[in-house]
């Protein structure tokens, strides 16, 4: 925010994603070979500075989660680059990957299915700690207790099973599990979507606290724009596998450029009964990522669609101050 | 002021009671405790569990408590009619030879022919015999007894003596005179000598009584008495001539005629010496000596047409004998106390459930049988689970071609008709005459090897769905190794279903084992199994008359399988997270 995007300061960016693509093959036919691809993530690029939070927003099915998981190499990429601390994540072998996994963690959306029902909480949190020898054996218990306390859990929760906890507490367990490995970067894959609003605030505040305490970097995936506005330093907007707009939170929310971003942000409810609601209603539904529209992927639903949009893929344009948009309406500043 | 205070108190109270403090929460049970609680609440499952506990105590502790062994055969004394002696009318001639003389068998057959043809001479092996009818069915057979040989050529004779000095000069003179006159016999000192031409030689012999033939039977009172030719001849002669007394070798004997052609011969001092009859009474076994008294008793009974007799033997034991007649063959049977295997004995104090067709205690065999049946079940299910979990786990976790290969193998195993295969394998084991112990182990292996596909399929399905759960992705994201991911995250989640399937499978295995043992292909004698106990019931008679043999075993199988199924159902319900309570 304070500084302009400076490509020279490489080390400042903990994560750089360059032209990342992730296609899922659609199998079929006689030999069960691929007959097509679902382009879940199609050529996205962005970078996250150390200690900041990047929000990733978009409708359901636009590839936010896939992008998050591909970055962590939970899915193999199709093309592009993911540089973590300047190193290509996909170049590591199995052993190196096991080591690097402690540096980058993920918090899942559903705190119910992301905890093994047959392990006590202490084991869930401590298992990977032991696996990676993060602390000495003597300090193990103490360490787990400390992590749990940091995440708002009590020591006596250790021997309990996940089903004994409420959703918020479970999400705290998930956070503790991620945090226990002492990571630098955490992908938060819609961590509050499954929680009710009061708990959402608790979790968001916990995440912010932890970020300050440990200097964490977040990739915060959500479709909840108000949450993203609250937590993020920068925001990326995705539509149908592609990145349509990236910019500082303030810029994006005050001055959205891309028609899709505009439509998306117009859906944020304003807590003022007198406020004039000026919603842009998008027509139609999101096209299939297996067969995306030609040209600008958004042109089928865009209110400002031009002829060029139907045939040419819009280039990324820098509108200044790191505000990047991919739309034919704008030209480079 | 007071209102404010009240409000504050209320607020404090409310915030204290509604705070999400863990101390305030209801204690939640661990998954295991929850399952146990649900299980205990299930009545049917508890019934099943009680049945199973009973079965285990019955089988594994019962065998230790039971005073009897697994293959201990019980014996009992039983009064049975046992063949003791046989009696028949003698219609064959019995021959008694003179001391030192021999009646060849060729002569005997010629004798019978001669009697039938009513001839009074016969020839056998070149020797002339004559038979003299002394009485009814009583013949004296006399023949030429050679005392020497002579070779006479042109009136000059050379002699060969059978015994030293048997040919005296007077005999030689007589012989030469006879040869000269062309006679075939001559007499010297009142003894008639016969000349028989054998080839070039002449045989000189005396006519002698060789043997007597009679259909009457002589019995002696003392076991070691041998009756001589002279005695028998004199006795028979006396009977024929109705003489009461006769002398043999200077001893005077007295004949007392009994009924029906029987006679008792006693010495002068009144001691019974021998008896004569037409009935032959012989013991059935060699170690029995029948006294003349007994024989006489039997003879009288047979002649009088009596069906049973009572005889007091020399030891004073009174025994009852029955006589049955079949084609003039009389069988004397004694009611005798005999030690026999206690076959199919009714339930009693000693044997609560009676004994089986081998005379073994059924209750004890049920205990040992249960042990084997349950053990086979457990070992087989163990093998089944071992193979099933490994193959199913591999297929489920790794998927792709490994999955395809293993699942096709499962399909192949599912296509094998198990019963014919069991029968063939049972026959193969029979062919190699395997020890019963080895058979049991092999049976476990066979049952386990043939029934793993169900478990493999179940495990694969479970793992397939668990693998996609987010906690598996989380485990991968935290960099946990594949080995730990499988055995700490996947397998514990499969175990509940595995327990259910294994419990149900145990019942099936026990049924299959019982079926095989019933068909004689499984566990073999002397080892007991519930199946082969029922195997005893292979005919209608046993089935209808000895209910105590098969009903308990059948009930045990039924109850055990039922118990396993109840417990399995109960476990399934208890493990089912959708089941509330």
- Separation in Å, CA of B465 to nearest CA in chain A: 12
Cα(B255)–Cα(B252) distance, integer angstroms: 10
State mean pLDDT over A170-189: 87
Tell me the DSSP string of B504-516.
Answer: HHHHHHHHHHHHH
Backbone phi, psi, residue B461, to 5°: -60, -45
Query: Which of A233-247, B94-108, B330-344, B479-493 has the largest mean confidence?
Result: A233-247
Pairing state between β B185-188 and B138-153: unpaired
Q: Which of B125, B164, B160 is closest to B175 using CA atoms? A: B160
Buried b (16+ CB within 10 A) or exposed e, A47-70: bbbebbbbbbbbeebbbbbbbbbb
State mean pLDDT over B384-403: 88
More confident residue, A204 or B3: A204
pLDDT at B252 over 60: yes
Candidate from A54-63, A321-330, B82-91 with smallest mean pLDDT: B82-91
Would you kindly state where each structural domain of chain B is located, as residue ranges? 33-65+351-579, 78-86+278-338, 94-214
Q: Which of A96, A85, A32, A37 is closest to A63 using CA atoms? A: A37
* Cα-based torsion angle of the residue sequence B311, B312, B318, B322 in order, rounded to the nearest 10 degrees: -10
pLDDT tens profile B357-372: 778 888 888 898 888 8
- CA B124 vs CA B108, B113, B128, B153, B345: distances in Å: 9, 11, 7, 27, 63
The overall average pLDDT reported for chain A is 83
Q: What pLDDT does residue B163 have?
A: 67
- Residue from the list B469, B477, B488 with its beta carbon closest to the beta carbon of A106: B477
More confident residue, B479 or B166: B479
CB of B327 closer than 8 Å to CB of B82: no
Query: Which of A126-130, B145-149, B221-225 has the largest mean confidence?
Result: A126-130
Contact B479 A102 (CB under 8 A): yes
Q: What pLDDT does residue B261 have?
A: 66
pLDDT tens profile B132-179: 777 777 888 887 767 777 777 776 777 777 666 667 777 777 777 777
Q: For residue A164, which residues of chain B lie inside 8 Å, CB to CB? A: 28
Neighbours of A234 (CB within 10 A): 24
* Run of H or E including A88: strand A87-88
Cα torsion angle, B495, B500, B501, B506, sign: positive
Buried b (16+ CB within 10 A) or exposed e, B461-487: ebbeebbebbbbbbbbbbbbeeeebbe
Q: What pLDDT does residue B49 have?
A: 92
State mean pLDDT over A184-197: 85
pLDDT at B3 over 70: no
Contact B477 A101 (CB under 8 A): yes
**pLDDT band of B558, cuts 50, 70, 90:** very high
Q: For residue A116, which residues of chain B lie inside 8 Å, CB to CB? A: 471, 475, 489, 492-493
3-state secondary structure of B284: coil
Tell me the DSSP string of B92-111.
Answer: S-EEEEPTT----HHHHHHH
Q: What pLDDT does residue B165 have?
A: 65
- Separation in Å, CA of A5 to nearest CA in chain B: 30
- Residue from the list B20, B30, B478 with its beta carbon closest to the beta carbon of A128: B478
pLDDT at B233 over 60: yes
Cα(A326)–Cα(A241) distance, integer angstroms: 13
pLDDT tens profile A197-242: 888 888 888 888 888 888 888 899 988 888 888 888 899 988 888 8
pLDDT tens profile A268-292: 777 777 777 677 777 777 788 778 8
State mean pLDDT over B7-22: 59
Q: What pLDDT does residue B31 have?
A: 67
**CA angle A14-A15-A21, nearest 5°?**
175
Cα(B107)–Cα(B131) distance, integer angstroms: 11
Q: Cβ contacts of residue B26 below 8 Å, gap of 6+?
A: none
pLDDT at B43 over 70: yes
Q: Which of A123, A165, A154 is closest to A140 using CA atoms? A: A123
Contact B471 A115 (CB under 8 A): yes
Based on the number of CB atoms within 10 Å of its own CB, is B385 exposed (0-12), middle (13-18) or buried (19 or more)? Answer: buried
Q: For residue B479, which residues of chain A lie inside 8 Å, CB to CB? A: 97-99, 101-102, 128, 131-132, 181
CB of A191 closer than 8 Å to CB of A108: yes
* Percentage of chain B modeled with pLDDT above 90: 7
Cα(B530)–Cα(B482) distance, integer angstroms: 45
Contact B22 A115 (CB under 8 A): no
- CA A211 vs CA A174, B426, B474: distances in Å: 15, 71, 21
- Residue from the list A113, A132, A157 with its beta carbon closest to the beta carbon of B479: A132
**pLDDT band of A172, cuts 50, 70, 90:** confident
State mean pLDDT over B549-578: 86
Q: For residue B489, which residues of chain A lie inside 8 Å, CB to CB? A: 116, 119
pTM for the whole structure: 0.64
pLDDT tens profile B259-305: 666 777 777 777 777 777 777 777 777 777 777 777 777 777 777 77
Backbone phi, psi, residue B299, to 5°: -60, -50
Q: What pLDDT does residue B382 have?
A: 92
CB of B91 closer than 8 Å to CB of B70: no
CATH number, domain B33-65+351-579: 1.10.3720.10
Which positions 146-205 of A are in contact with B (Cβ < 8 Å)? 154, 156-157, 160-161, 163-164, 166, 174, 177-178, 181
Q: Does A131 touch chain B (CB under 8 A)?
A: yes
CB of A208 closer than 8 Å to CB of A177: no
Which two structure tokens, joined as six digits, stand for B340? 């026999």
Based on the number of CB atoms within 10 Å of its own CB, is B213 exposed (0-12), middle (13-18) or buried (19 or more)? Answer: buried
The overall average pLDDT reported for chain B is 80
- CA B164 vs CA A186, B98, B99, B206: distances in Å: 138, 21, 20, 16
CB of B274 closer than 8 Å to CB of B221: yes
pLDDT at A140 over 50: yes
- Separation in Å, CA of B575 to nearest CA in chain A: 12
Based on the number of CB atoms within 10 Å of its own CB, is B391 exposed (0-12), middle (13-18) or buried (19 or more)? Answer: buried
Angle separating helix axes B547-575 and B491-518, nearest 10 degrees: 170
**pLDDT band of A307, cuts 50, 70, 90:** confident
ipTM over 0.95: no
**CA angle A8-A14-A18, nearest 5°?**
70
pLDDT at A123 over 60: yes
- Minimum CA–CA partner of B469 in chain A: A113
Query: Which of A245-249, B90-94, B242-246, B338-342 has the largest mean confidence?
Result: A245-249
More confident residue, B279 or B223: B279
More confident residue, B581 or B21: B21
* Cα-based torsion angle of the residue sequence A240, A241, A247, A251 in order, rounded to the nearest 10 degrees: 10
Q: What pLDDT does residue B332 have?
A: 80
**pLDDT band of A115, cuts 50, 70, 90:** confident
Q: For residue B30, which residues of chain A lie inside 8 Å, CB to CB? A: 160-161
**pLDDT band of B411, cuts 50, 70, 90:** very high
Q: Which of B493, B494, B487 is closest to A127 using CA atoms? A: B487
- Separation in Å, CA of B457 to nearest CA in chain A: 22
CB of A16 closer than 8 Å to CB of A79: no
- Beta bridge pairs of residue A39: A23
Which positions 456-495 of B are in contact with A (Cβ < 8 Å)? 469-471, 473-481, 484, 488-489, 492-493
Contact B480 A131 (CB under 8 A): yes
**pLDDT band of B13, cuts 50, 70, 90:** low
**pLDDT band of B380, cuts 50, 70, 90:** very high
């Amino acid at each position: 925010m304070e500084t302009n995007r400076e490509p020279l300061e490489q080390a400042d960016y903990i994560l750089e994603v360059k032209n990342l693509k992730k296609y899922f093959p659609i199998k079929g036919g006689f030999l069960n070979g691929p007959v097509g691809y679902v382009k879940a993530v199609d050529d996205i690029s962005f970078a996250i500075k150390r200690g900041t939070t990047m929000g990733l927003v978009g409708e359901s099915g636009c590839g936010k989660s896939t992008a998050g998981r591909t970055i962590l190499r939970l899915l193999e990429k199709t093309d592009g680059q993911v540089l973590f601390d300047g190193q290509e994540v996909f170049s590591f072998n199995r052993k190196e990957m096991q080591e690097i996994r402690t540096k980058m963690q993920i918090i899942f959306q559903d705190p119910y299915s992301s905890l093994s029902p047959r392990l006590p909480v202490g084991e869930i949190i401590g298992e990977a700690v032991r696996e990676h020898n993060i602390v000495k054996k003597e300090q193990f218990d103490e360490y787990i207790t400390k992590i749990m306390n940091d995440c708002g859990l009590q020591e006596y929760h250790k021997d309990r099973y996940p089903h004994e906890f409420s959703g918020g507490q479970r999400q705290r367990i998930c956070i503790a599990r991620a945090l226990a490995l002492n990571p630098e970067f955490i992908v938060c894959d819609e961590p509050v979507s499954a929680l009710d609003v009061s708990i959402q605030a608790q979790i968001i505040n916990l995440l912010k606290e932890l970020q300050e305490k440990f200097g964490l970097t977040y990739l915060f995936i959500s479709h909840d724009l108000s949450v993203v506005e609250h937590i993020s330093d920068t925001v990326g907007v995705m539509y149908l596998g592609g990145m349509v707009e990236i910019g500082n939170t303030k810029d994006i929310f005050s001055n959205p450029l891309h028609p899709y971003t505009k439509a998306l942000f117009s859906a944020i409810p304003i807590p003022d009964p007198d406020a004039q609601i000026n919603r842009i209603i998008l027509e139609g539904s999101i096209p299939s990522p297996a067969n995306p529209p030609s040209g600008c992927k958004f042109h089928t639903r865009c209110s400002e669609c031009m002829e060029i949009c139907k045939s040419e893929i819009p280039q990324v344009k820098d509108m200044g101050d790191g505000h990047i948009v991919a739309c034919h309406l704008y030209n480079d500043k | 002021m007071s209102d404010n205070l009240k409000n504050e108190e209320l607020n404090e109270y409310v915030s204290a009671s509604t705070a999400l403090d863990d101390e305030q929460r209801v204690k939640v049970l661990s998954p295991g405790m929850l399952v146990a609680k649900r299980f205990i609440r299930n009545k049917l499952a508890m019934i099943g569990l009680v049945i199973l506990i009973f079965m285990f105590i019955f089988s594994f502790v019962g065998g230790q408590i039971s005073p009897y062994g697994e293959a201990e055969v019980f014996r009992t004394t039983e009064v049975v009619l046992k063949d003791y002696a046989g009696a028949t009318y003698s219609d064959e001639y019995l021959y008694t030879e003179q001391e030192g003389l021999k009646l060849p068998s060729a002569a005997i057959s010629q004798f019978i022919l001669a009697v039938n043809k009513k001839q009074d001479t016969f020839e056998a092996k070149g020797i002339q015999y004559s038979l003299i009818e002394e009485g009814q069915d009583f013949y004296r057979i006399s023949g030429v007894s050679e005392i020497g040989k002579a070779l006479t050529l042109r009136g000059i004779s050379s002699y060969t003596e059978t015994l030293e000095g048997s040919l005296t000069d007077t005999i030689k003179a007589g012989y030469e005179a006879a040869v000269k006159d062309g006679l075939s016999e001559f007499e010297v000192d009142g003894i008639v000598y016969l000349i028989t031409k054998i080839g070039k030689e002449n045989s000189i012999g005396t006519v002698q009584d060789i043997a007597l033939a009679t259909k009457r039977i002589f019995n002696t009172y003392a076991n070691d008495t041998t009756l001589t030719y002279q005695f028998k001849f004199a006795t028979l002669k006396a009977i024929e001539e109705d003489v009461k007394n006769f002398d043999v070798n200077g001893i005077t004997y007295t004949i007392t005629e009994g009924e029906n052609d029987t006679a008792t011969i006693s010495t002068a001092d009144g001691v019974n010496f021998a008896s004569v009859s037409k009935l032959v009474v012989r013991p059935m076994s060699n170690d029995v000596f029948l006294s003349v008294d007994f024989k006489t008793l039997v003879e009288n009974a047979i002649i009088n047409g009596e069906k049973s007799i009572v005889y007091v033997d020399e030891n004073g034991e009174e025994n009852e004998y029955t006589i049955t007649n079949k084609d003039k063959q009389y069988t004397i049977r004694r009611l005798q106390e005999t030690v026999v295997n206690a076959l199919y004995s009714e339930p009693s104090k000693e044997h609560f459930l009676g004994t089986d067709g081998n005379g073994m205690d059924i209750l004890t065999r049920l205990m040992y049988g249960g042990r084997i049946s349950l053990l086979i079940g457990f070992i087989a299910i163990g093998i089944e689970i071992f193979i099933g979990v490994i193959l199913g786990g591999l297929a489920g976790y790794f998927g792709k071609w490994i999955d395809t290969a293993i699942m096709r193998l499962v399909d192949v195993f599912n296509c094998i008709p198990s019963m014919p295969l069991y029968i063939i394998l049972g026959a193969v084991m029979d062919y190699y005459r395997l020890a019963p112990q080895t058979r049991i182990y092999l049976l476990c292996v066979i049952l386990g090897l043939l029934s793993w596909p169900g478990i493999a399929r179940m495990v694969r399905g479970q793992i397939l769905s668990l693998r996609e759960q987010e906690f598996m992705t989380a485990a991968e994201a935290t960099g946990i190794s594949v080995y730990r991911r499988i055995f700490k995250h996947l397998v514990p989640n499969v175990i509940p279903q595995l327990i259910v399937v294994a419990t149900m499978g145990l019942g099936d295995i026990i049924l299959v084992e019982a079926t095989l043992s019933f068909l004689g292909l499984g566990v073999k004698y002397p080892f007991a199994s519930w199946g082969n106990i029922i195997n005893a019931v292979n005919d209608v008679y046993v089935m209808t008359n000895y209910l105590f043999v098969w009903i308990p075993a059948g009930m045990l199988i039924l109850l055990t399988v039922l118990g396993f199924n109840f417990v399995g159902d109960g476990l399934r319900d208890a493990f089912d997270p959708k089941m509330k309570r």
